[in-house]
Amino acid sequence: GQQLNQSPQSMFIQEGEDVSMNCTSSSIFNTWLWYKQDPGEGPVLLIALYKAGELTSNGRLTAQFGITRKDSFLNISASIPSDVGIYFCAAVSGTYKYIFGTGTRLKVLA
Amino acid sequence: SAVISQKPSRDICQRGTSLTIQCQVDSQVTMMFWYRQQPGQSLTLIATANQGSEATYESGFVIDKFPISRPNLTFSTLTVSNMSPEDSSIYLCSVETDIEQFFGPGTRLTVL
């Protein structure tokens, strides 16, 4: 079946560093979404991407929809302690069919 | 976007009992979804709930174990029936608007 592979699985970084994570698949998708989940909370939508090659920013976050439509990238610039959490990618296949990645656990060291 | 609330936020239940989780949305939505997130794992879709019709269950999930109601366009319930410790998980409802999915805060269930 379809699945999304996220990497890295987890990362420790120093406050102020930039962070990059990606999500890949063997299938083509038309929409990519990035979520952040804080402990004890539901995932919160960060960025939505609708077109291949699209680059979208939300504050210190920038995400790109890969040209092949099989991948997406999320970058966080100048990380701060509140960036800690789990970041999930999701891709939309067909109508109402969302597939979630395995998650990247981010820990920021002050 | 949509504002979603869930009740209860957490519960500890005994094996063999059932728990009904409520999901309330601040606007009318066509599709509501129920997910399970086991500790340290990603989200797994349990079922999709349309108002006025039977829920559609994903492979590995059955109506007898996870009955769902969708009485109107702003509300849904998920029941976890005859619980066992393996059902300990976070249960999340979500809604879709404009190809973006928004999640409730989740219900953390522990089964002893």
Question: In degrees, to the nearest 5, what angle opens at C-alpha A76 toward C-alphas A94 and A37?
Answer: 60
Closest CB to A42 among B41, B100, B106:
B106
What gap in Å lies between CA A66 and CA A73, rounded to an integer?
A: 8
Number of C-beta neighbours around residue A53 at 10 A: 11
Check residues B99 and B32 and name the one with the higher pLDDT.
B32
Residue of A nearest to B4 (CA): A42
pLDDT at A1: 57
Number of C-beta neighbours around residue B56 at 10 A: 14
What residues in B contact A41, CB-CB < 8 Å? 105-106
The pLDDT confidence band at residue A2, using thresholds 50, 70 and 90, is: low
Tokens of B68: 């769902």
pLDDT at B44: 92
Tokens of A24: 């890949």
Give the tens place of pLDDT for each residue, A78-109.
999 999 999 999 998 776 688 999 999 999 88
The pLDDT of B91-106, averaged and rounded, is 91
pLDDT at B51: 82
Question: Does residue B68 sit in helix, strand or coil?
Answer: strand
What gap in Å lies between CA B109 and CA B112, rounded to an integer?
A: 10
Give the tens place of pLDDT for each residue, B6-46.
999 999 999 999 999 999 999 999 889 999 999 888 999 99
Q: What is chain A's mean pLDDT, rounded?
A: 92
Contact B4 A42 (CB under 8 A): yes
pLDDT at B74: 95
pLDDT at A98: 87
Give the tens place of pLDDT for each residue, A17-35.
999 999 999 999 999 999 9
Q: Which one of A2, A7, A37 would you mutate to disrupt binding with B, by most B Cβ within 10 Å of its Cβ?
A: A37
First to last CA, chain B: 36
Give the tens place of pLDDT for each residue, B58-75.
999 999 999 999 999 999
pLDDT at B2: 86
